[in-house]
Amino acid sequence: MAINTDRAQAQAAELSSQLWSIADDLRGGMDANEFRNYILGTIFYRYLSERTELYMQDILKNDNLTYEQAFNDADYKEVVEDWSLEHLGYIIKPENLFRELNRKIVKPTNDGEKFSIEDYERAVSELTGSTLGHKSEAAFSGLFDDMRLQDTRLGDTVSERTDKIGKVIAKIGEIDMDLQDQEFDVLGTAYMILIGLFQSGAGKKGGEFFTPVGPSTLCATLATIGLDEAKTVGDCTCGSGSMLLDVRKHLTTGRVGHFYGQENNPTTFNLARMNMLMHGVDYQNFSLYKGDTLTNDMYGDDLKLTVQVCNPPYSLKWDAKSEYLDDPRYSGVNKLAPKSHADFAFVQHMVYHMDEADGRVAVLLPHGVLFRGGAEEDIRKWLISTVNRLDAVIGLPANLFHGTSIPVVILVLKSKRNGNSDNILFIDASKEFIKGKNQNELPDESIKKIVDAYVARTDIPQYAYVADIQTEIIDKNGYNLNIPRYIDTSEEEQEIDIAHIKHELEDIQKQKDELQNTIIDTMKLLGL
């Protein structure tokens, strides 16, 4: 679990600032969204390299050997390679270690050792190649594909590309990242900051893979209340993996048996796998898949998840082919989300994969899912009356997300309602925000207020309301879940005292007349 300290946050912020300066060396032929891949890829390579050194230092300490000595000893080489593959999932040869690449840039011992971008290409290729045919192959395959070291936009010649990437490696080598001194957590935190930092300059779609800290923390907290650990955790549109990792922070023991996720964007899919590894998740403890969740469920039919969090793309258009009704995820309600709004298709997917014993879901969606008619109304009926999974509807403030200013809602779903199967909790937290320069923030105190209200599950005037499913949601409102139908947040107008106002106006006129007479008398004395 990450250690949330002022020192760690300060170091992470400083790292982000330094990395912006590195970005200047890559500006020119490519935009921020592209050169980010070189920076983050190099940070990740350094992380894997230093992880190798620390691991080898530990297992070879009783042999009084360095990694280089062991690797070059015929009696040890095969053993250290096997250990590295089994415990780390990959092999980085001593000559390919980040510090060696960096040394060739900063302090080459002779002319023949001068760094070339081809050294880096070979190092990355040999790392990923070492995983082929092994259990770790899926975790590392294509992981550095977005770091295109032969891209002519880095330079037309090997020399030009070498100069540009050499500067990046050297500057990343200057950053203080001591993994032995709790810096692993700082590195992970900084990595998340970087994802947010660089996506903010990537246009409207830059935030598709990154959920802001406040909403992510709230979803993770709501989905883990009362859980010490989770056997399985999933996110069917996992983006950078930030929400998956947030779940672990909010479990009492911080233990997750296995992480699952699916992501359609290949660049973001690679970021998610890097993020898992950089946060200390063993390659054997996560399974992330690349593909379209709605049309290709790569979880398989049998996977059931303890906790699911999700921030899917809002009102995504999809083809909604009639043949999808044969998919067990959608066949339960026998309705497909409309082509113009795929929101409920993601919900149906998550409901299908909920663990029956104690499955939980916290999903961020646009408000339209609460009241739109047609197929979406039928899905709401199924969700409430047939499977009875909807536990709470929580309205959040507007402008919390990069790229969209719309207010969103969190739907909390549970497979076991624990005595609440006859009601649904509504919370209006639309005013719980701190106004920011570009977007609003959901502060810690607001998150606590929402979570406390969810746990208490009692009526709070203008904030929370426990609605009876049969009489209020079904009979009175016909499955319309629009929050203002259940929580009145209007302010009572103050009664106007007409007589008092009339008296005040008369006093003002009297003062005005007296002042005017004073001015006239003064002007007469002055002979004007």
Same domain, 382 and 505: no
State the residue for tokens 């009875």: 388
d(CA 412, CA 425): 9
pLDDT of residue 224: 97
d(CA 522, CA 290): 87
pLDDT at 141 over 50: yes
Query: Of the residues 185, 202, 219, which one is the last residue of a structural domain?
Result: 202
pLDDT of residue 185: 45
pLDDT at 199 over 80: no
pLDDT at 434 over 60: yes
pLDDT of residue 493: 58
Task: Retrieve residue 92's tokens.
Answer: 């980085």
pLDDT of residue 489: 76
d(CA 275, CA 278): 5
Domain count, the chain: 3
Same domain, 469 and 503: no
Same domain, 321 and 188: no
Interval 6-28 mean pLDDT: 67
Residue 496 CB coordination number (10 Å): 7
Contacts of 23 (CB under 8 A, 6+ apart): 32, 35, 36, 39, 198
Same domain, 86 and 143: yes
Same domain, 161 and 190: yes
Task: Retrieve residue 390's tokens.
Answer: 């909807």
d(CA 418, CA 416): 6
d(CA 48, CA 274): 10
Task: Retrieve residue 317's tokens.
Answer: 């258009």
Residues 260 and 287 sit within 8 Å (Cβ to Cβ):
yes
Q: Could you write out the DSSP letters of every residue in 263-282?
A: ES-HHHHHHHHHHHHHTT--
Q: If DSSP states are collapsed to H, E and C, what string results for 378-413?
A: HHHHHHHHHCCCEEEEEECCCCCECCECCCEEEEEE
In a domain, 137, yes or no: yes
Interval 388-396 mean pLDDT: 97
Q: Which range marks the domain in which residue 112 is found? A: 6-202
The two beta strands, 423-428 and 390-395, are: parallel
Interval 183-199 mean pLDDT: 54
Same domain, 158 and 37: yes
In a domain, 223, yes or no: no
Same domain, 250 and 167: no
pLDDT of residue 153: 87
Same domain, 133 and 265: no
CA 363 to chain centre: 12
Q: Could you write out the DSSP letters of every residue in 166-189?
A: HHHHHHHHHS---IIIIIHHHHHH
Same domain, 101 and 17: yes
pLDDT in tens, 256-295: 999 999 999 998 899 899 989 988 899 999 999 999 999 9
Same domain, 380 and 509: no
Residue 460 DSSP label: B
Q: Work out the mean pLDDT of the chain and round it to a whole number.
A: 88
Residue 299 to residues 95, 192, 241, Cα–Cα distance (Å): 39, 26, 16
In a domain, 196, yes or no: yes
pLDDT of residue 5: 45
CATH assignment of the domain containing 441 = 3.40.50.150
Sheet with 390-395, strands from edge to edge, namely 286-290, 255-263, 229-235, 307-310, 360-366, 408-414, 390-395, 423-428, 464-468
Task: Retrieve residue 337's tokens.
Answer: 């989300």
Interval 385-392 mean pLDDT: 97
CATH assignment of the domain containing 132 = 1.20.1260.30
pLDDT in tens, 462-517: 999 999 999 999 999 999 999 999 998 776 656 677 877 878 888 888 888 888 88
In a domain, 311, yes or no: yes
Q: Residue 94's closest CA among 49, 41, 36?
A: 49
Same domain, 387 and 248: yes
Q: pTM above 0.75? A: yes
Same domain, 142 and 40: yes
Taking each continuous run of H as one helix and of E as one strand, the counts in the chain are 17, 9
In a domain, 329, yes or no: yes
> Residue 339 carries which side chain, given as an amino acid letter?
K
d(CA 330, CA 324): 7
In a domain, 236, yes or no: yes
Residue 30 to residues 23, 43, 118, 191, Cα–Cα distance (Å): 11, 19, 21, 21
pLDDT of residue 522: 79
In a domain, 1, yes or no: no
In a domain, 272, yes or no: yes
